[in-house]
Chains A and B, each alone.
Chain A
Amino acid sequence: MATNRPRVNTELLQRIQQLNFAVLETVLYLNTHPRCREVLRLHNELSREYHEAIDEYQRRYGPLYADYADADYPWQWKDSPWPWEITY
């Protein structure tokens, strides 16, 4: 049941922040340098790591996306910590 597990893991969240940020940087760069193979490879690699970290977090601590496919009973999205409540 959803209520038994810890509500937040700030360390994993920070890793997710870092990975998401790194992916964004590759996206912005590729938008004006679409033929840079190296950054494209980096984008895909980082995005994969990012999605794995998201999967792990959602499985263990609760939803980061409202459309998370394995939502627990009772519905947790409204209750899991909101970003402005967290001390990262």
Chain B
Amino acid sequence: MWDYKKYLQYPANVRRKDPDLAGLIVTQFGGPDGELAASLRYLSQMYSMPIPEARATLNNIGTEELAHFEMVGTLVHKLVDGVPADVLRQTRFAPHYAQWGRANFPGDAFGNPFTAAYIASHEDPIASITEDLAAEQKARAVYEYLLDITDDPSIIDTLSFLREREVVHFQRFGEVLDLLYDYQDN
């Protein structure tokens, strides 16, 4: 089961308000390669894994992704919190504001709502872990795109941390894949 610790895994500060950027960073909140997708993917796959190394890795990384979901949600929230409506009206956050106000909503940068169609979870463990390897690369790539489009040093710091985590997760899933091949050979 899950418990909650009242601190972010890593700081998520912003130097200045930026509703345009909020509407883009939101892709890692509820978009196809974002943290919610990652956590649900791993926390769905863990049940039917045949080896404990796979179960534990999916459980712990899936849990970490929820902490990242909170970090990205914090960035989006801080970027629009307190910004007057007439200012929001002039940004790409305007449709979000019209539908949900300043509340966070899990969706992508186009406003599409989150869907479990973003994830796969297979009894075949090779299929699932290969999906996870691809997911980590895609998430890393998206963080790099986001790093390309902001010069806010606080946000750059947070996105760089999140990008680095994807690289480490990819490494861990690679180890699990090797262990699964060993398991299947024996």
Residues of A within 8 A of B (CB): 13-14, 16-17, 20-21, 24-25, 27-29, 31-34, 63-67, 80-84, 86-88
Contacts and interface: CB of A to CB of B under 8 A. Distances in A.
Contacts of A24: 60, 64
Contacts of A27: 60
Contacts, number: 68
Among A27, A29, A63, which residue has the most Cβ atoms of chain B within 10 A? A27
Interface stretch (B5-13, B22-30, B88-96): B5-13
Contact of B57 (A21, A28, A66): A28
26 contacts: A13-B7, A16-B7, A17-B7, A17-B8, A20-B7, A24-B60, A24-B64, A25-B168, A28-B57, A31-B56, A32-B172, A32-B175, A32-B179, A34-B53, A64-B7, A66-B4, A80-B6, A81-B6, A83-B6, A83-B8, A83-B70, A84-B8, A84-B12, A84-B70, A84-B73, A84-B78
A32 B56 CA distance: 9
Nearest to B70: A83
Interface in B137-186: 168, 172, 175-176, 179
B136 to A, nearest CB: 13
A87 B78 CA distance: 10
Contact of A83 (B60, B74, B176): B74
A3 to B, nearest CB: 18
Given A24-B64, A65-B6, A83-B6, A31 B11 contact: no
B86 interface: no
Nearest to A30: B56
B77 interface: yes
